[in-house]
Amino acid sequence: MAGLSRFFSATLLALSCALLVSPATAEVYKIVDEFGNVTYTDSPPEGAEVEEVVLPELITQPAIPVPQREESGDPLEFVPASQIQIQMVTPINQTVIPPGQMTIPVEVSLTRPLEENEVVQILLNGTLKAVSPSTVFMLDDLIRGEHTLQARVVDQGRTVKAQSQVITVYVQRATILN
């Protein structure tokens, strides 16, 4: 009798484990109320007119392998203190300036502080628009249309020490038609 009880217990345990390992399946039901609102649920209310939804099999995509980078000593790029790099922070490339915005903030980022004899220049459509030892500028009076912006660092001898990528902004302005 003990052997039969042990066999029954082992069988019950094996069936329970098999049920736990099987893929999870849940029914999904579609309910449309009297106003035409659609609700999807896994537990429909009693008495509601429901339609069972058959979901397609889930397709997964394996991860793309990431190539390993060769270790070449210091992974950071070393920029000598005498060199400087400049990058436009705002506006970003392809920014659209809406009609009500009359002033455009321009901010640049530098890899080191400016030296006493250096300034930042902002070029609008290739023409010098602003000069300052600051990294924040406010541009105004831009007409409607496509414009390019670039920032550069120059010294007193007008030697360009660094320049940013050229970015494009689109200025929208209201028009007055007669």
Closest by Cα among 86, 84, 100 to 137: 86
In this prediction, residue 44 has a pLDDT band, given cuts at 50, 70 and 90, of confident
Predicted confidence at residue 66, as pLDDT, reads: 58
Predicted confidence at residue 107, as pLDDT, reads: 94
pTM: 0.54
Closest by Cα among 164, 165, 168, 166 to 86: 164
Cα(140)–Cα(104) distance, integer angstroms: 6
| pLDDT tens for each residue of 94-109 | 989 888 888 889 999 9
Residue 102 in tokens? 């009359």
Domain with CATH 2.60.40.10 in the chain: 86-171
Residue 74: pLDDT above 50? no
Q: Where are the alpha helices (DSSP H) in the chain?
A: 2-21
Residue 18: pLDDT above 60? no
Q: Which fold has domain 86-171?
A: Immunoglobulin-like (2.60.40)
Which range has the worst mean pLDDT, 38-47, 106-115, 138-147, 159-168? 38-47
Write the single-letter amino acid at 110.
L
| pLDDT tens for each residue of 126-143 | 899 999 999 999 998 888
Predicted confidence at residue 123, as pLDDT, reads: 93
